[in-house]
Amino acid sequence: MTLQTVAVIGSGLMGRGIAYCAAAGGFRTALHDVSAEALERARSRIRTDLDEGVARGKLEPPEATAALERLSLEPELESAVRGADFVIEAVPEDIGLKLATFARLDALCAEEVVLASNTSALSVTEIAAGTRRPQRVLGMHFFNPVPKMKLVEIVRALDTSDAAIAATAEVARRMGKETVVVKESPGFITSRINAMIGNEAFLILQEGVATAADIDKAVKLGLNHPMGPFEMADLVGLDTRLAVLEFLHKSLGEKYRPAPLLVEHVKAGRLGRKVGRGVYDYGEKS
């Protein structure tokens, strides 16, 4: 059966990007949020992203118009998932909220529908266990900004079926994404490696081995990363980065202990671009 309709639950930073890719990928796309304001913001952001897609030559103007026509904004969850073949959840990272959302989705959606969570770190097995279809619940980990980032990590929970993995890989492919399949594990592949690189950069800076600018320059020009570790940490938010490291430290052990200099930056309120100052000074919030 060809999947036709995707419902995206939560229209924040990630949900609106996921909805953009689904609509641009040819799916009828229903985007739901409990906040009417968030839905309106998402609509205008998706319009801008489609215009940018046209400007960058990724989409023809009629394709952008068709994508917008395929998108519906749904203030009611029931209407959003009515007729959906595939559901992607992107509500805030809170296990209670995820469990409550999946319980409702499980009750509302037909038995064969796959329910995917965009959680960054929570246990997909725990989320799946709260439903009557654990074999059709998995993680679908997108990256920010979703329209531009190529990868989706598909997270296999304990009971996820091969059929659900295959259906998810197909949905991601039609959304223009490449996929990797990972077993449920803290930080999957990407967050684990990225947290380590960022932490090592703080340790090198703390030891006085080189300046922040030179560490970033070395990683970009010597290792061919598109961004330096401090540019990346300032973008992600140092508090977010610290929270990921603390979680990895707790679940995977000593080598993930956060660098003291990172902890100090967070204590000082130097959280990155969002407050105008992190490792670098930006002068104003961005």
Binding site for ligand NAD (CB under 6 A): 9-15, 32-35, 38, 90-93, 97, 101, 118-120, 142, 144
Q: Between 87 and 169, whose beta carbon lies closer to ligand NAD?
A: 87
How many whole angstroms separate alpha carbon 66 and alpha carbon 100? 34
Q: Smallest gap, in angstroms, from Cβ of residue 141 to ligand NAD?
A: 6
How many C-beta atoms lie closer than 10 Å to residue 233's C-beta? 31
Q: Smallest gap, in angstroms, from Cβ of residue 243 to ligand NAD?
A: 10
Q: Smallest gap, in angstroms, from Cβ of residue 204 to ligand NAD?
A: 25
Task: Mention every residue, 6+ apart, whose C-beta is less than 8 A from residue 153.
Answer: 139, 140, 141, 179, 180, 181, 182, 188, 189, 190
Q: Between 34 and 54, whose beta carbon lies closer to ligand NAD?
A: 34
> Which tokens belong to 86?
């595939």
Chain centroid, CA 125 distance in Å: 18
Q: Between 35 and 65, whose beta carbon lies closer to ligand NAD?
A: 35
Are the C-beta atoms of 212 and 205 separated by less than 8 Å? yes
> Which tokens belong to 2?
């060809």
Q: Smallest gap, in angstroms, from Cβ of residue 144 to ligand NAD?
A: 3
Are the C-beta atoms of 209 and 200 separated by less than 8 Å? no
> What is the 3 state secondary structure string of 35-96?
CHHHHHHHHHHHHHHHHHHHHCCCCCHHHHHHHHHHEEEECCHHHHHCCCCEEEECCCCCHH
Are the C-beta atoms of 217 and 230 separated by less than 8 Å? no
Q: Smallest gap, in angstroms, from Cβ of residue 11 to ligand NAD?
A: 5
Nearest residue to ligand NAD, scored by beta-carbon proximity: 12
Expressed in angstroms, the distance from the first to the final Cα of the chain is 45
Q: Between 146 and 205, whose beta carbon lies closer to ligand NAD?
A: 146
Q: Smallest gap, in angstroms, from Cβ of residue 55 to ligand NAD?
A: 24
Q: Between 123 and 204, whose beta carbon lies closer to ligand NAD?
A: 123
Q: Between 90 and 233, whose beta carbon lies closer to ligand NAD?
A: 90
